[in-house]
Amino acid sequence: MLSSKKILLIISGGIAAYKSLDIIRLLRKEGAQVTCVLTKGGSQFITPLSVASLSENQVYDDLWSLIDETQMGHIRLSREHDLIVLAPATANLMAKMAHGLADGLASTLLLASDKPVLVAPAMNPVMWANEATKSNVETLKKRGIKFVGPAEGDMACGETGLGRMSEAEDILTAIKDFFFERPLKGLKALVTAGPTYEAIDPVRFIGNRSSGKQGYAIARALLEAGAQVTLISGPTRIRPVNGANMVHVESAEEMLEACEAVLPADICVCSAAVSDWRATSMSEQKIKKEAGNLPPSLSLTENPDILERLSNHPTKRPSLIIGFAAETENIGKHAKVKLEKKGCDWIMANLVGKDEKGHEKAFGSDENQIYFYSQEHDSKETWEHMSKKHIADRLVVKIVEHYKAK
C-alpha cells in the first residue's frame, strides 16, 4: 500500500523506541522507503545497527557528521520525504518543535522541513498532563501537525495512565490514514472465514479443506479501506489479521452465535466453508473400535445456514450481504439458485476440487477464479484468474462503488 512512499522516521529517547523497530518492519512490509534519524537519547535504547538492518538504509544521528552532510545534508533529509514520523516523540523533542529550537539533527531538520509531520508521543502520564506539554501539543496541533496517541496503560516506570506510545500497528494505520482516503470509514463489516469443525467425539470431527485465505484477505482489504472489521474464523493456520476484531470458533452453531452477537453491521461477507451437517449427538468419550464389531454409523443433522439467517434477519439485516458458492459443476445455475434461496445481495462463485494436474482449484490455493453474481442488477461478471488478495481488493472496490452509488 505504501510502495511509492518515502518516510523519515525520527526515533527519540524513550523506552518505547523498541517499538519503532516494529514500525520500520511494518513500513518495509508495506513497501515504503524508510530513512531513520536516531537522536542521542534514542540511541541509548536501540542501536543504529538494528535500525539500519531493518530499514535497509543508512541511519542519521549526527548534525555535525562530515560524511553525512556531504552525502545527504540535513536540509535534503528534511525535504526528500513524503511524511516525517516522530516515534517515540519525547516531551523534550515536542517542546523543541513548538519553540523552534534547532540544537541537534532531529530538531534542526524539523525546523527546516516543509513536509507533513505525524507525532506519536511517549512519556510518563504526569509529563503528558503537564501544562507545559499540553500547551506545546496545542501549538503543534494548531500548526497542522497530526498526532497518534498516546495510549493509556501500564508504563515502563511502573505508573499507569495516558502516555504510552501507540502500538506499531496503530501508528501504521495513522500513516495510511494520512496518505489514503478511507472510503469505508464509519462502516462496520463482518467476515466469516475458514472451515467449521463439527465434533463427533473429543478427538474426531467433520471438517473440510478450506484454508481461510480468501476470508482473511477480504478482512484485510476491508480494514485498509477503513471499515471496522470483525473476522469470525473457523480453525485455520493463518496469523490473526492485525486491526480486526478476531473471533475464533469451531462449529457452525458457534459461528452463527458469534455473527449474531456482532450485529448490527453494514457489510457482511460469508466466505466460510460452513459444514452443512453435524453429528446428531457428540459422544462424550472417544468412540472405541471393538474387536468383531461393525464400524459405528454416524447420524447427521443439518446445521443452520448462517448466510441465509443473516440475509433474512428480521431487524438487523446488514445492508450489503455477500456470499460465496463453492461448486464442482454447473457454476452459473447453482450460484443463481443460491443467490435467490439465501437472499443475499451478491454471490462470489468459484470452482472447487482438483484441476487436471491434481492441484486444488480454490481450497488452500493462493489464487482463484471468481464468477460474480448480483441480485440487484441481475448481472454476472467473469473475473480473470488472480490471487486471493487481488480478489479481495476487487471485491472491496465493488463495495466502495456500491456505497458511493447510494
State which residue, 187 or 259, has the beta carbon closest to ligand CTP.
259
The alpha carbon dihedral of 155, 161, 164, 166 has a sign of positive
Binding-site member from 193, 221, 241, 252 for ligand CTP (CB under 6 A)? 252
State which residue, 123 or 231, has the beta carbon closest to ligand CTP.
231
Binding mask 185-204 for ligand CTP (x = CB under 6 A): -------x------------
The yes-or-no answer on residue 157 being catalytic is yes
Q: Whole-number minimum distance, CB 282 to ligand CTP, in Å? A: 18
Residues from 310 through 369 that contact ligand CTP (CB under 6 A): 323-326, 338
For residue 260, the tally of other CB atoms under 10 A from its CB is: 14
Q: Whole-number minimum distance, CB 304 to ligand CTP, in Å? A: 6
What is the DSSP track for 2-47?
Answer: -TT-EEEEEE-SSTTHHHHHHHHHHHHHTT-EEEEEE-TTHHHHS-
Greatest C-alpha distance within the chain:
89
According to the binding rule CB under 6 A, does residue 276 interact with ligand CTP? yes
Q: Whole-number minimum distance, CB 186 to ligand CTP, in Å? A: 25
State which residue, 267 or 273, has the beta carbon closest to ligand CTP.
273
Q: How far is CA 264 from CA 187, 268, 318, in A?
A: 11, 10, 7
According to the binding rule CB under 6 A, does residue 233 interact with ligand CTP? no
Q: Whole-number minimum distance, CB 405 to ligand CTP, in Å? A: 23
According to the binding rule CB under 6 A, does residue 372 interact with ligand CTP? no
State which residue, 324 or 373, has the beta carbon closest to ligand CTP.
324
The alpha carbon dihedral of 134, 139, 140, 145 has a sign of positive
- C-alpha 286, offset from chain centre: 39
393 Rama sector, left if φ>0, alpha if ψ -120 to 50, beta otherwise: alpha
Looking at the DSSP bridge assignments, the partners of residue 162 are 152
Q: Give the three-state DSSP class for 245.
A: strand
Binding-site member from 174, 241, 306, 392 for ligand CTP (CB under 6 A)? 306
According to the binding rule CB under 6 A, does residue 274 interact with ligand CTP? yes
Residues at the site binding ligand CTP, with contacts judged by CB under 6 A: 192, 252, 270, 272-274, 276, 303, 305-307, 323-326, 338
- Known catalytic residues? 157
